[in-house]
Amino acid sequence: MLVLGLSHIEEDIYRHLLRNPGIEVDEIHVLLRHEAEPTRRSIRRLRELKIIQQVDGQTRACEPELVVARLAEQRLEELYDDIRSLTHLRPLVDSLGREIPEPEPEDDEKPVERITGLEAIRTRLDELAFFAREEVLAAEPYDALTPENIENSRPLDLRCLRRGVSCRSLIRRVAMEDGPTLAYLQELTAAGARIRVLDELDELMLVYDRHTALVPLDPGNTAKGALCSQEEGIVTTVVNNFERLWAAAEDFAALAGQRDGADGPGPTEIQAKVLRLMCTVGKDEIGAREAGIALRTYRRHISDLMQLLGAENRAHAALLARERDWI
């Protein structure tokens, strides 16, 4: 019963009382060959946990089914607390970062980093994606993604989306003609990413939290390396260029046929799940957990659904969704 939080001594005592109900516990340490003081502490804890109790002046073990259920529930609560703590590590990262001495400034130092080599670029992208907190903008002028590209990109993209980071991407229309690429883009859309399509897209750009921008050294040959900059003027220029292209692009989900329906645009698979949860659970936190997505992403899906339905509030959205047989 160690997995449920009981020590070996506590389990021995409980099992002994199951086999011998009503016996005196004063000398039970002798029978079980344990030391007296640890045994007394274990008996006190078993009583506090309501695993054993006094009945008509006798010490008896409680029913195993109730004991195991109670201990399992308590252990799960402890595990949930641990998991919740692991999802809020930013204060720890900040605290550890403050231990690093500030580097001595150099007169010619500039907030621009030159990165060469595919592995170095991937490492930098991994770091930027890990520390992104609000938004990732990406314009990627590929015709198709190789299986290796997808394998490397998937954990970075999905990790951001699970944390509730807003992810917007621009792609070429021709990329939708490649089966694996299309399937991956649909997977990202279902997870909460927003993707738009352009007939022509020649510029590769990545922006993290509107604070760090990454562009190729040579737009005609991305293999030469990349420039990573936190210079405000450079980042602002890249963001403005992205927003200009975004405004002129078409919605990927609509083009991919994910939302086509008899009554006009319909919900994606993840939106349908969010819609059902919105109508059945009482709290957004519970709905987000059951959907397996971040709370911010869950609420963004609800906002998109209300806009899609033309609803004024959630109750109105539920009514309109029933009229369209979405739920």
User: CB of 303 within 8 A of CB of 313?
Assistant: no
Quick one: which H or E segment has residue 323? helix 314-323
Distance CA 229, CA 235 (A): 7
The whole-number pLDDT of residue 235 equals 93
Structural contact between residues 137 and 239, judged by C-beta atoms closer than 8 angstroms: yes
Q: Specify if 313 maps to a domain.
A: yes
263 inside domain: no
In a domain, 232, yes or no: yes
The answer to whether residue 45 is domain-embedded is yes
pLDDT of 259 reads: 42
Query: How far is residue 62's CA from residue 226's CA, in Å, rounded to a whole number?
Result: 67
Q: Is the residue at 226 inside a domain?
A: yes
Helix axes 147-162, 118-131, angle to 10 degrees: 20
177 and 308 assigned to the same domain: no
Tokens 């930098």 label which residue? 124
* Cα–Cα distance for residue pair 271/289, rounded to 1 Å: 14
247 and 274 housed in the same domain: no
**Strand, coil or helix: 228:** strand
64 plus 40 within the same structural domain: yes
Output the tens digit of pLDDT for each of the chain's 327 residues. Answer: 777 888 888 888 888 888 887 777 777 877 788 888 888 888 888 888 888 887 777 788 888 888 888 888 888 888 877 777 776 777 777 788 788 886 655 544 556 888 888 888 888 888 898 888 899 999 999 899 888 888 888 888 988 888 888 999 999 999 988 888 888 898 888 888 999 999 999 889 999 999 999 998 877 777 788 899 999 889 999 999 999 999 999 999 888 764 444 445 567 778 888 998 988 888 889 999 888 888 888 888 888 788 777 777 888 888 888 877 787
**Any residues with CB less than 8 A from the CB of 289 and at least 6 apart, and which?**
none
In a domain, 87, yes or no: no
Let me know if residue 104 belongs to a domain: no
CATH code of the domain in which 290 resides: 1.10.10.10
* Domain final position from 214, 230, 254: 254
Whether 161 is covered by a domain: the verdict is yes
**Residues spanned by the domain of 169:** 112-254
CB atoms within 10 A of CB 223: 11
Per the structure, how many domains does the chain have? Answer: 3
Residue with tokens 């229309």: 173
0.75 exceeded by the pTM? no
Determine the pLDDT at residue 266.
63
| 17 in Cβ contact with 87 (< 8 Å) | no
